[in-house]
Structure 1
């Protein structure tokens, strides 16, 4: 009797290499992913995760190495070829999902319209029928006539997944898919991904969120400096994976600050919207307050109101006992109230053709007017501040003069945060400062925030409760536009405790 042949992995990489000039992004990467398996890909920013995903998607080509799909060697020279060979990707950016002004049905069929393979007669009935077939394939229950812009972020992600699944992929790649989702939306997405696993799809899942990895991963593969440094089977020891990723353990605890003096910043009887409950808020000197809540809870709206992007519906604010009614960002910055927005590309980046697109230029731009001497650009001061930020935040950049676009996502975020520590602040507002950064970079950022926190008030707005516990001296929970709870960090449930696990698994 002839012995049965072993089933080849759905995806196999052998000795994959990629360099950008002198920088080795990937070095002899070997990886197998089997049908019905979820492999979580972990790695510090700049470890090579994005490069590997781009090679599999056909966006970039490897310098050398082999890729096999179900035992067959394949060449992937374009995204279309990747799709033909059974590899599809769902990216982090919602902007890549579709066209906001088109209907959900039209967006579900967008790839067909773009390639000319759509319904021969594109009547509303035909479009709806084909779109319904795609939606039902992943259990997506959604109003097909709604505009894409009017549906939730989770449903937009699910629309992208429904399009991808319609090609009956062998391998699916998920790149930080929960970065902008609430806990409930994340759970909805997890159920779909688990259904794909059950149907035999091989999945590579890239995430910096340990809760995602605990929930989904059958195996964790760690990239470090372009090489696979470790692999862990389920149940995954997260601390060991982090150690393999960054080369050391994270600190078990950080000193917490308390403030006995008068608060630097106060809010009284505030409402973000007329019909919502009112709330108060005090932040003392040296204190770091973490405001946490799901998407749409009001945390970003509160940050914007404090910075002067829009007014409170009701209530009063004081900055060091002076009424605080900012007319806009210019007045806020001049008064020492600094704000790093959630969307770093929209609020903090310059096009690469602009002089201020470099690391040094990005950091110095808000302060150029006060740094000028006799109308001349403060080149020396700009360089000195940038070099100090690179050292303080552990920014990995070839020099302070490289464009921000040349840096990894985590290092870009460090530059954005370093900008607002270039001068002393009275009140520092950070909206989702850890979005898209690995745990090592997060640790660098928290350490830099704490080191510089004396004498100012700091409010950090995060949707991830685990992040709130790590950064905050006090944890404020916001729901429906109002502060619902105020808890000292040392009395909150620690992220590592069994009691916290159910909550963290769906964050």
Structure 2
């Protein structure tokens, strides 16, 4: 066996009284793909940020290619051969700049680089970087014109431009379609053959089966298992969460489903050229709309929520015509949407007063909860305390800022927001994004517990997630709902 490219020994990190990492040991060899699994808050993101130069450890040692490694910044880490693609790309891109300029951002920010480079020359320099990740777009277009998945490919291409010794990917497939995922894995296979060490943080078992040489499990800031294929994934998840997986899942939704119609669409077209479709959802039922990223699922969710308009067709909510003029209309009527990109649709940066857990939960209901501009802090805190308990949010209290929570706990806050009041129709777009397998089961049980109160539509690209949560799964493809036989992709799942 070759010597490790990177070694972490007894690495410890505290945030006030919270121990994020506790004497953690890790090693990665050249040409090896190590998958890092762990429950939300287990310490994965803290470890990634230490390796990538965002944080310094409080104690312990890091060694890179046999030399002491203690980067003072992400740029220093990249110069030493460690490139990281974080789960949230907001801090890694500049949406107003062109795609080419984002691909070349590190080069353009280098003081030693010429500051006047013609746009055509920048596009020529960026083209091979884009081609390496299969990104075939107009490089002169603003980055903001790309989908979230394509923007993630831009950040990956930019990371590879530094020719890293170690590539770190945090939930790399969360926003990618199936073809994009396979293209990414083909690229990782090639990098592995070139001797690049790769650390992948992922909760998708399909990812781990396809790409991992080894699965390392983190719990409570420590490495508790190091597994090699063939991997017993049920045992791995139980090791990760520290308790057995319930074998007899709760039967809430299917038992509560009634014949009472709640939401329907007829002859619905999202675009002028799409095929019309019908859809019915009963009260008490959880229906998963499953299809590829970019296939139109999010557009359908936004049309129901009043954020966009459909090209044609009619909607009915509790037997009455439903045509919301805006999301505010939808919220007043009890139609709630948890959007796909939590930072774009649901959460606030620290500079905003509503950036705490309590403020995030109360924001959509200000006009109902707070009369004449008076903020009822007691009601706000009580709702947050209940949400923290119901969803198992790991935090110190209702006033915690969202930026201090792990990605999975941020997602729990987003879902808890739309349980602060009773919904008639709940829309969840990729609700398990960045959520570990144990927390995913807890969230699914919580959603089922409340399913009898409403109809629930869940929009997912991962069929495994669809089967875990839904009573019925309907395939969505190219902005068209296609009903297929139960032997194919439409299933009635009896819980």
TM-score (norm 2): 0.91
CA RMSD of aligned residues (A): 2.7
Comparing 415-424 with 54-63, greater Cα deviation is found at 415-424
The match for 1:37 is 32
Deviations 1:237-269 (A, max 9, x none): 211211111012333445251644231111111
SS at match of 1:303: helix
The match for 2:155 is 160
Matched, 1:12 2:10: no
CA distance 1:493–1:71, shift in 2 (3 Å): farther
Asked whether the 8 Å contact 1:174–1:205 carries over to 2, the reply is yes
Alpha-carbon shift at residue 355 of structure 1 (Å): 3.7
Asked whether the 8 Å contact 2:133–2:156 carries over to 1, the reply is no
Alpha-carbon shift at residue 115 of structure 1 (Å): 0.4
Deviations 1:372-421 (A, max 9, x none): 46764333332322222111111112112222222221112111111111
Alpha-carbon shift at residue 235 of structure 1 (Å): 2.2
Asked whether the 8 Å contact 2:177–2:292 carries over to 1, the reply is yes
Residues in 2 aligned to 1:366 and 1:158: alpha-carbon distance in whole angstroms: 33
Q: 2:105 aligns with which of 101, 106, 110?
A: 110
Asked whether the 8 Å contact 1:154–1:189 carries over to 2, the reply is no
Asked whether the 8 Å contact 2:45–2:406 carries over to 1, the reply is no
| 1:42-441 equivalence runs, <5 A | 42-100=37-95, 102-118=97-113, 122-123=117-118, 126-127=121-122, 130-132=125-127, 134=129, 138=132, 140=134, 142=136, 145-147=139-141, 149=143, 156-252=151-247, 253-255=249-251, 257=254, 259-372=257-370, 376-441=374-439
Alpha-carbon shift at residue 133 of structure 1 (Å): 5.3
Comparing 471-480 with 111-120, greater Cα deviation is found at 111-120
Alpha-carbon shift at residue 158 of structure 1 (Å): 4.1
Residues in 2 aligned to 1:254 and 1:311: alpha-carbon distance in whole angstroms: 37
Asked whether the 8 Å contact 1:148–1:156 carries over to 2, the reply is no
Residues in 2 aligned to 1:325 and 1:157: alpha-carbon distance in whole angstroms: 34
Residues in 2 aligned to 1:91 and 1:193: alpha-carbon distance in whole angstroms: 16
Which structure 1 residue ranges, 5 or more long, are not aligned?
1-5, 496-507
CA distance 1:154–1:345, shift in 2 (3 Å): closer
The match for 1:498 is none
Residues in 1 aligned to 2:128 and 2:345: alpha-carbon distance in whole angstroms: 39
Alpha-carbon shift at residue 311 of structure 1 (Å): 2.1
Residues in 2 aligned to 1:351 and 1:215: alpha-carbon distance in whole angstroms: 36
The match for 1:454 is 452
Which structure 2 residue ranges, 5 or more long, are not aligned?
none
CA distance 1:333–1:125, shift in 2 (3 Å): closer
Alpha-carbon shift at residue 195 of structure 1 (Å): 0.7
Count the aligned residue pairs: 489
Residues in 2 aligned to 1:447 and 1:309: alpha-carbon distance in whole angstroms: 29
Asked whether the 8 Å contact 1:14–1:29 carries over to 2, the reply is yes
Residues in 2 aligned to 1:366 and 1:45: alpha-carbon distance in whole angstroms: 26
CA distance 1:125–1:287, shift in 2 (3 Å): closer
Alpha-carbon shift at residue 54 of structure 1 (Å): 0.7
TM-score (norm 1): 0.89
Comparing 221-230 with 256-265, greater Cα deviation is found at 256-265
Alpha-carbon shift at residue 10 of structure 1 (Å): 0.7
Alpha-carbon shift at residue 198 of structure 1 (Å): 0.7
Alpha-carbon shift at residue 440 of structure 1 (Å): 1.5
CA distance 1:37–1:229, shift in 2 (3 Å): same
Alpha-carbon shift at residue 102 of structure 1 (Å): 4.6
CA distance 1:152–1:355, shift in 2 (3 Å): closer
SS at match of 1:264: strand
Residues in 2 aligned to 1:141 and 1:422: alpha-carbon distance in whole angstroms: 41
Asked whether the 8 Å contact 1:100–1:147 carries over to 2, the reply is no
Deviations 1:198-252 (A, max 9, x none): 1001111111211111111000111111011111012222112111110123334
Residues in 1 aligned to 2:80 and 2:367: alpha-carbon distance in whole angstroms: 55
Asked whether the 8 Å contact 2:2–2:30 carries over to 1, the reply is no
Alpha-carbon shift at residue 368 of structure 1 (Å): 3.2
